Amino acid sequence: MSVAPNLVTSVHTALIAAADPARAPGMQAYMKSAMPYLGVSAVPLRQICKALFRDLVWPDSDAWQCDVLAIWRGAEFREERYAAIELTGVKVARPFHTLAALPMYEEMIVTGAWWDYIDAIAGHRLWAILQHEGEPMKRAMLAWSTDRDMWKRRSAILCQLRAKENTDLAFLYACIAPSLDSKEFFLRKAIGWALRQYAWTDPVEVRRYVAEHADRLSGLSRREALKNIGATP
């Protein structure tokens, strides 16, 4: 059985107790957020979540998703949505990172529609699903890479950020390809970021790819991709 009602209240109460209202307007302005902030920075927020979530257990993925989405959907302040993302990363939820969790993350990505949410989900949670269910998840991300929703496209591009030497290059390039000609800043940035991350593993390959696609890659994507390695050895 889900413990969502009590958990939602506990998260809300704990965050309000830790809030610094003087910081909230600046945080909201920096993130260009329509949703207000309480004024709880990242470190205390993670500490609060660690304490609140330490002893939680769920009988199945559905119960876990219910709790995550209860916090996400009921959020009045942005920090509450950060807490929902923290809840997706607790150790006992690791077995739940299968394709069954993808609709939950899709909702969070589409309704969140901003980089702070999307990057945490794509870079960590979608990667966890990819590790558990490689080929089916790749097919799902390839479908996302051509979706009308920009944030789903960004998520597909970024889902291998943590892969390092285990990066599937053909899959990465296939996720990038539909957005190569996009004018969207967040897609151009994502392309450069994904290439930059892989450049730590294989700078020669990233230089090759950038040179091959020089006529289509935006200046931003090229700069980001080559930031740490340069155009030539």
Query: What are the structure tokens assigned to 33, written together?
Result: 């957020």
Q: Residue 230: its pLDDT value, please?
A: 77
CATH pick for 1-96 out of 1.20.1300.10, 3.90.1150.10, 1.25.10.90, 3.40.50.2300: 1.25.10.90
Residue with tokens 């960590």: 124
- Decide if 1-96 and 98-233 have a common fold: yes
Cβ atoms of residues 65 and 101 within 8 Å: yes
Residues of the chain with confidence (pLDDT) below 70: 1-5, 233
The pTM assigned to this predicted structure is: 0.93
Query: 111-120: per-residue pLDDT in tens?
Result: 999 999 999 9
Q: Residue 94: its pLDDT value, please?
A: 95
Q: Domain 98-233 belongs to what topology?
A: Leucine-rich Repeat Variant (1.25.10)
Q: Residue 3: its pLDDT value, please?
A: 45
Q: Residue 5: its pLDDT value, please?
A: 57
As a three-state string, the secondary structure of 103-121 is HHHHHHHHHHCCHHHHHHH
d(CA 62, CA 68): 10
Q: Residue 37: its pLDDT value, please?
A: 97
Domain ranges of the chain: 1-96, 98-233
| Rg of the chain, C-alpha, whole Å | 19
As a three-state string, the secondary structure of 158-222 is HCCCCCHHHCCHHHHHHHHHHHCCCCCHHHHHHHHHHHHHHHCCCHHHHHHHHHHCCCCCCHHHH
Residue with tokens 């053909």: 170
Q: Following CA atoms 199, 200, 201, 207 in sequence, which dihedral angle do they give, to the nearest 10 degrees?
A: 20
